[in-house]
């Protein structure tokens, strides 16, 4: 099949994905509108997630991962706005929902585990009280049901239910993140969006939480969008990978394929240089330099000044997203393959 995907153009072909998608993101753009200029943090991103699928989204710090997740979940607040595209969750638009409409979907059908569990949890309420609020907001009235379900989800993530009485500051970073995951599972939603949920943990704890998330996903059947800056973390757990660079999709495809034959030079660089487990702001040794300023993007390929395979044409204009063997890559090196595919 031969179709260069000129993103944003009318009649654009959909990105490859499951036919029965529960989430469909099309040409989604989001920006931070500030006095000193506009930052295009998410630039025409498209992908789909099928029921029970595990999608990993990877990319360096500042490439727009969190902004993308917030845009999908309808949680962007000024100065951030969705500036284009659409998000359909189970056939319903997530863009421009009122707080009330959003509250009806959140937790029940779709839940989000934020990057910083410390900020996401209310510091002046016990874990149990926060779980109870979420359950009551969706009609759970009986005290017995609330207590029972709250204890059950905490157990699922390996925390003793005695901690329902605890306040966030009384828990370790890892326990706070586990509590957020437990809260996300209160209603067994169809989609759980996780933004670096293991980043506060050491390597061993990170792996064990990852295994637990995967087990819960298989047991309960929900789909996952898992964001991380660490390719190695999602290598064993995700069905598909989406690699972001400077607000755009650089490459996406089945995880195994991306690992076996990375098509984009950035993906190849990421694989040679798994960043430090401890923090997202460690420079990648395999890829010298840093991503471009999203407020002043270059005319050509956004990766050009770091790319070991840069060609003169890469500086003249931006590459499109090409489809090669059913996967997507934004790089001129694959233009021919896309044409003859």
Q: Which parts of this chain interact with ligand ATP (CB under 6 A)?
A: 32, 39, 41, 59, 61-67, 79, 115, 229, 280, 294
Segment interacting with Mg ion (CB under 5 A) among 38-46, 60-68, 96-104, 236-244: 60-68
- Report if residue 111 touches Mg ion, rule: CB under 5 A: no
284 touches, from ligand ATP, ligand SF4, Mg ion, none (C-beta below 5 to 8 Å by class): none
Please check whether residue 113 is in contact with residue 179, taking contact to mean a CB–CB distance below 8 angstroms.
no
What 275-284 contacts at long range (C-beta under 8 Å, 24+ apart), as own/partner pairs, is 275/60, 275/229, 275/230, 277/202, 277/203, 277/206, 277/230, 278/202, 279/199, 280/60, 280/61, 280/196, 280/199, 280/229, 281/61, 284/60
Give the nearer residue to ligand SF4 in terms of CB position, either 133 or 305: 305
For residues 43 and 302, give the distance between their C-alpha atoms in angstroms, rounded to a whole number.
Answer: 12
SS (H, E, C) 158-216: CCCHHHHHCCHHHCCHHHHHHHHHHHHCCCCCCEEEEECCCCCCCHHHHHHHHHHHHHH
Longest alpha-carbon distance in the chain: 68
Q: Which of 270, 204, 200 is nearest to 235 (CA)?
A: 270
Find the residue with minimal CB distance to Mg ion: 66
Shortest distance, position 309 Cβ to ligand SF4, whole Å: 4
* Crossing angle for the helix pair 203-220 and 173-184, to the nearest 10 degrees: 10
Q: How far is the CB of 257 from ligand SF4 (least distance, A)?
A: 18
Quick one: 101 or 305, whose CB is closer to ligand SF4? 305
- The enclosing H or E element of 101 equals helix 99-105
Assigned token pair, 24: 């469909």
Query: Is position 66 an interface residue for Mg ion (rule: CB under 5 A)?
Result: yes
Antiparallel, parallel or unpaired: β 110-113 and 191-195: parallel
Based on CB atoms, which residue is closest to Mg ion, 62 or 85? 62
Cα–Cα distance for residue pair 271/291, rounded to 1 Å: 17
SS3 at position 280: coil
How much is the CA Rg of the chain, to the nearest whole Å? 20
265 binding partner (options ligand ATP, ligand SF4, Mg ion, none; Cβ < 5 to 8 Å by kind): ligand SF4
The smaller minimum CB distance to ligand ATP, of residues 95 and 103, is found at 95
311 binds ligand SF4 (CB under 6 A): yes
Are 120 and 180 in contact, with CB atoms under 8 Å apart? yes
Q: CB under 5 to 8 A by kind: which of ligand ATP, ligand SF4, Mg ion, none does 229 bind?
A: ligand ATP
Which of ligand SF4, Mg ion, ligand ATP, none does residue 331 bind to, with CB < 5 to 8 Å depending on kind?
ligand SF4
User: Residue 168 touches which of Mg ion, ligand ATP, ligand SF4, none (CB < 5 to 8 A by kind)?
Assistant: none
Pairwise CA distance, residues 79 & 206, whole Å:
33
At its nearest, how many Å lie between ligand ATP and the CB of residue 244?
Answer: 7
Of the candidates 1, 309, 317, 339, which one interacts with ligand SF4 according to CB under 6 A? 309
Q: Which listed option, ligand ATP, ligand SF4, Mg ion, none, makes contact with residue 127 (CB within 5 to 8 Å by class)? A: none
Helix (H, G, I), strand (E, B) or coil at 69: helix
Q: How far is the CB of 7 from ligand SF4 (least distance, A)?
A: 15
Q: Tell me if 54 contacts ligand SF4 by CB under 6 A.
A: no
Question: Is 4 or 298 the residue whose CB approaches ligand ATP more closely?
Answer: 298
- As measured in angstroms, the least distance from the Cβ of 319 to ligand SF4 is 4
Question: Mask 249-278, x = binds ligand SF4 (CB under 6 A)?
Answer: ---------------xx-------------
Q: Are the beta carbons of 81 and 181 closer than 8 angstroms?
A: no
Residues that bind ligand SF4 (CB under 6 A): 264-265, 301, 303-304, 307, 309-311, 314, 319, 331-333
Residues that bind Mg ion (CB under 5 A): 65-66, 115
């Amino acid at each position: 099949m031969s179709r260069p995907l000129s993103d944003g153009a009318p009649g654009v072909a959909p990105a490859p994905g499951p036919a029965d998608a529960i989430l469909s993101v099309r040409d989604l753009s989001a920006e931070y509108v500030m006095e000193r200029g506009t930052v295009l943090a998410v630039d025409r991103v498209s992908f789909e997630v099928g029921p029970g699928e595990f999608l990993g989204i990877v990319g360096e710090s500042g490439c727009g991962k969190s902004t993308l997740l917030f845009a999908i979940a309808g949680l962007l607040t000024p100065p951030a706005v969705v500036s284009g595209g659409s998000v359909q969750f189970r056939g319903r638009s997530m863009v421009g929902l009122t707080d009330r409409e959003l509250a009806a979907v959140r937790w029940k059908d779709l839940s989000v585990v934020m990057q910083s569990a410390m900020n996401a949890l209310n510091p002046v309420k016990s874990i149990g009280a926060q779980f109870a609020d979420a359950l009551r907001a969706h009609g759970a009235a009986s005290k017995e049901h609330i207590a029972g379900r709250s204890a059950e989800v905490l157990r699922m993530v390996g925390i003793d239910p005695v901690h329902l009485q605890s306040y966030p500051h009384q828990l370790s970073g890892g326990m706070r993140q586990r509590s957020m995951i437990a809260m996300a599972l209160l209603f067994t939603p169809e989609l759980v969006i996780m933004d670096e949920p293991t980043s506060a943990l050491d390597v061993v704890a990170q792996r064990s939480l990852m295994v637990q998330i995967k087990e819960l996903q298989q047991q309960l059947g929900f789909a996952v969008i898992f964001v991380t800056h660490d390719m190695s973390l999602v290598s064993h757990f995700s069905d598909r990978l989406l690699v972001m660079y400077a607000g755009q999709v650089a490459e996406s495809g089945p995880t195994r394929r991306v690992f076996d034959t990375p098509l984009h030079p950035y993906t190849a660089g990421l694989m040679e240089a798994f960043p430090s487990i401890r923090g997202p702001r460690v420079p990648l040794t395999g890829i010298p330099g840093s991503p471009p300023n999203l407020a002043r993007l270059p005319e050509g390929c956004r990766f050009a000044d770091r790319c070991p395979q840069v060609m003169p044409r890469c500086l003249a204009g931006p590459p499109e997203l090409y489809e090669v063997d059913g996967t997507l890559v934004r790089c001129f090196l694959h233009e021919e393959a896309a044409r003859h595919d």
